[in-house]
Amino acid sequence: MRPAKVALAAVVAWALLVSAACSSDNGSSGDNSTDFASGGTFTLLAADDPGSLNPFQNIQTPGVSMFKYIYSYLLSIDSSGKLVPELATSWTVDGGTVAFKLKPGVTCSDGSPVTATTIADNFNYAKDPANKAVQIGIIFPDTHFTATPDDAANTLTVKFDTPYGFVLQALSLFPIVCGAGLKDPNTLTAKSSGSGPFVLTKAVTGTEYDFDKRAGYNWGPNGATNDAPGVPNKIVEKIVGNQSTAANLLLSKGANAAQINGPDGVRLTGSSFKSVDSVVGGISMLFNESPGRPTADLAVRKALTMVLDIAQVSATVTQGISKVAGKSLTPAQTACDDSAAVSSIPTGDQAAAESLLTQAGWVAGADGIRAKDGKPLAINASYLTTTAGDAPAMELIATAWKKLGVKVTQQPLDNAGVNTAMFSSGNYDVMPLIELAVPFQSILIGWLSGPNPPNGINTAHISTPAYSDNAKKAIQTPGDAGCALWTAAAKGLYENADIIPMSIMPARYFMQKATFDLWIGRVNPTSIRLLK
């Protein structure tokens, strides 16, 4: 698999993601306006096709990021992770009820107004089981919510039967489709029906998506407007899965920007290109605790964790972009910082790990492989091969485990293989480098607790009350109190060595003659500025 494809496929593997720019050497706000070009076309090379352009049927990252061109949202998360107004000018949260004051004068690309009723219709469409909206169960916990519009007062009230701690973050990922598109959502796969800053003018699957600037757009996040200097007249997003090809296109001035994480970035570093990094998600180590698996034994999980130099693994898997150990399962999100929980990750030296295994009955045999009750300590380490750093990082991990007397079988997999191992065959003991790109902690609840496949998605058979009990309370608790509960929940997972944060999922963009901020690891459309 080509590296670019890989990087991309990895992102696709997870439901959706939010990222925060972790470093930027040239944010658009910092440039002198006299350097901005007038009009022009901004060409972006994307590694993946966005998939369905129907927002109710696509919650994968490439699609979610493209919807940002076309649609408006009640509110947004800016590149620093802060919630900012968009269609809503203000909001209040009271338990499970969120009341929005809406911006007046917003229109769809077909000229129709965006009213409170238009927005409420989107909630009603999503909650209708007949429409099978993918948001339900992922960014909205269930369909138990009611949207009440008041067009005269230009307000909207959304009431969730149960308080939802991440409701504002969820709404920042819920695009508002205009009336015509909502009436016939099948048309959304070919044309746009939104009130966003750009209008879809060309959609060739797997090839190219073109957008024209909307004149008069001035209701963007935090007051973003298309009248700002440097805003391109046209955006062309070309799908180029091969990172070498993308780098060549940048070098030949065939594009303004591309995401290039791998070795091809070296060709661009130090040249006339600027780069910006972003955290897309986290890389974690997941143990399979299903009965009969060696990793069902807590001592094994702890020992395997203790002998790893996680910072070194992090540097290897990110190819030097991050040299520190992972701090969270959801490092990209900013709603709740649960990094304090990493103090609960089992630590110790080689001798301590060996002692732990010996005490648990795993004794080294003549061949050096530990065994218990005649069963060797042999583990299947399945790992996703999405970037050039995955195999070396896996080798590093396997080497440490072999020194412990563990027989390690490395199993490289693509995204489909990982899904099969998790949801069908269950044939893995540990996934040391699984990529999690989710916007907030609550999305992981079903995956880290509850029923196992085929009745649920708790693929690792995790049963840790310290996690599930705290998470259950946390999802209904907004603010700092909720975050404290999420931190306690994460501690439960780490103490039990169910899952361990290893690193971040980085996204590095190279750009020329343009600047922009990043949103969910992708280019934020309203921040794009062309330079002379």
Tell me which residues touch other proteins (CB under 8 A).
Answer: 1-2, 5, 9, 12-16, 49, 51-54, 57, 59-60, 132, 134, 136-138, 189-190, 204-208, 238-242, 244-245, 248-249, 251-252, 254, 414-417, 419-420, 422-425, 438, 443-444, 446-447, 451, 453-457, 459
Please report, as a single letter, which amino acid is at residue 447.
W
Please, what is the minimum distance in Å from the beta carbon of residue 185 to other proteins?
10
Nearer to other proteins, 188 or 307 (CB): 188
Q: How many CB atoms lie within 10 A of CB 352?
A: 15
What do you get for the CA distance between the two ends of the chain, in Å? 37
Please, what is the minimum distance in Å from the beta carbon of residue 6 to other proteins?
9
Q: What is the DSSP letter of 383?
A: E
Kindly state the tokens that stand for 133: 């909206």
- Maximum C-alpha span of the chain: 82
Q: Is the peptide bond before 454 cis (omega within 30 degrees of 0)?
A: yes
Nearer to other proteins, 137 or 163 (CB): 137
| 96, 83 Cβ separation under 8 angstroms | no
DSSP class per residue in 170-235: HHTT--B--HHHHH-GGGGGTS----SSEEEEEEETTTEEEEEEPTT----GGG--TTSTT--SEE
* 3-state class (DSSP) for residue 39: coil
* 3-state class (DSSP) for residue 165: coil
Please, what is the minimum distance in Å from the beta carbon of residue 469 to other proteins?
20
Nearer to other proteins, 244 or 476 (CB): 244
| 149, 115 Cβ separation under 8 angstroms | yes
Please, what is the minimum distance in Å from the beta carbon of residue 137 to other proteins?
4
Please, what is the minimum distance in Å from the beta carbon of residue 211 to other proteins?
17
Nearer to other proteins, 57 or 487 (CB): 57
Residue 363: enclosing H or E segment and its boundaries?
A: strand 363-364
- Nearest Cα neighbor of 12 from 4, 23, 24 is 4
Nearer to other proteins, 12 or 356 (CB): 12
Kindly state the tokens that stand for 130: 């007949």
Please, what is the minimum distance in Å from the beta carbon of residue 294 to other proteins?
23
Nearer to other proteins, 288 or 344 (CB): 288
Nearer to other proteins, 252 or 359 (CB): 252
Please, what is the minimum distance in Å from the beta carbon of residue 64 to other proteins?
11
